[in-house]
């Protein structure tokens, strides 16, 4: 049930058979949630973390006037809230953007496997550091990149992250977002997002329609975004 998670870990590190068995055994349950559900609510005490098994989820912060900022997108294989293991609550919500399945991993089981397997403790420490690196890159996008480069950068990042877990095909990937949700991700209005999509389509040969991103010239898209995937730390780690 957590094959994508294991695939993601093994893309960057060696995970032994005994370690894999321990990770799989840490899962207590799998739950299904429809789109637009709050999975974890901000400031509520937590004694478990969740692995996204399938679907698209996000971290988000709501403002009093009803606006929201999506601060990260999560794809299958991601631990959406591993940091709650040490923080014990989140200061943001985890929400679904499509129908999703989540594996529930109690914190006492996480504690057991990280104490029993020091290598896995380092693997999951790396995972939280990787999340932080992605957040920093998104901060640069929101603060300094143009709307065009910001959108192109997001499409590039998602292609790399989804390709890592074998969820790209025919030069693109499924992205079940509305234009309004895309706008919330990029910190712009829906009208601005629509105009930016049209401009990006003409410059970088990328389409976003009916829940799918189709890229006919990835190099052109990378040039528009000035995309350097080094922040995703794709090289295999030394044990």
List the chain domain ranges: 3-119, 138-232
Mean pLDDT of 81-109: 97
By the 8 A CB rule, do 135 and 129 touch?
no
By the 8 A CB rule, do 229 and 218 touch?
no
Rounded CA-CA distance 89/167 in Å is 30
Q: 117, 103, 112: which is closest to 20 by C-alpha?
A: 117
Residues β-bridged to residue 69: 61
Q: What is the pLDDT of residue 41?
A: 96
pLDDT tens digit sequence for 113-149 = 999 999 999 999 999 999 999 999 999 999 999 999 9
pLDDT tens digit sequence for 23-74 = 999 999 999 999 999 999 999 999 999 999 999 999 999 988 889 999 999 9
Question: Which distant-in-sequence residues (6+ apart) come within 8 Å of 227 by Cβ?
Answer: 152, 153, 156, 157, 221
C-alpha 192: how far from its chain's center?
23
Q: What is the pTM of this model?
A: 0.95
Count other Cβ atoms within 10 Å, centred on residue 63: 8
The top-level CATH class assigned to 138-232 is: mainly alpha
Domain 3-119 matching CATH 2.60.120.10: the answer reads yes
């Amino acid at each position: 049930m957590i094959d994508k998670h294991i695939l993601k870990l093994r893309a960057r590190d060696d995970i032994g058979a005994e370690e894999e068995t321990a990770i799989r055994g840490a899962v207590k349950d799998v739950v299904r949630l429809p789109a637009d559900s709050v999975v974890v609510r901000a400031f509520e005490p937590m004694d478990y973390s969740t692995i996204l098994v399938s679907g698209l989820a996000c971290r988000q912060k709501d403002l009093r006037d009803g606006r929201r900022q999506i601060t990260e997108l999560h794809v299958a294989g991601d631990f959406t809230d591993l940091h709650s293991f040490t923080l014990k609550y989140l200061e943001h919500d985890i929400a679904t953007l499509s129908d999703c399945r989540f594996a529930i991993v109690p914190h006492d089981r996480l504690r057991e496997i990280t104490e029993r397997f020091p290598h896995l403790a380092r693997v999951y420490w790396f995972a939280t550091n990787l999340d932080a690196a992605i957040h920093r890159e998104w901060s640069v996008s929101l603060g300094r990149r143009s709307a065009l480069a910001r959108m192109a950068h997001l499409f590039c990042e998602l292609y790399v992250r989804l390709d890592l877990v074998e969820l790209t095909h025919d030069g693109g990937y499924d992205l079940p977002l509305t234009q309004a949700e895309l706008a919330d991700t990029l910190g712009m209005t829906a009208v601005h997002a629509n105009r930016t999509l049209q401009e990006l389509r003409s410059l970088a040969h990328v389409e976003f329609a009916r829940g799918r991103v189709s890229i006919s010239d990835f190099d052109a898209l990378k040039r528009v975004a000035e995309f350097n995937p080094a922040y995703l730390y794709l090289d295999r780690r030394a044990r």
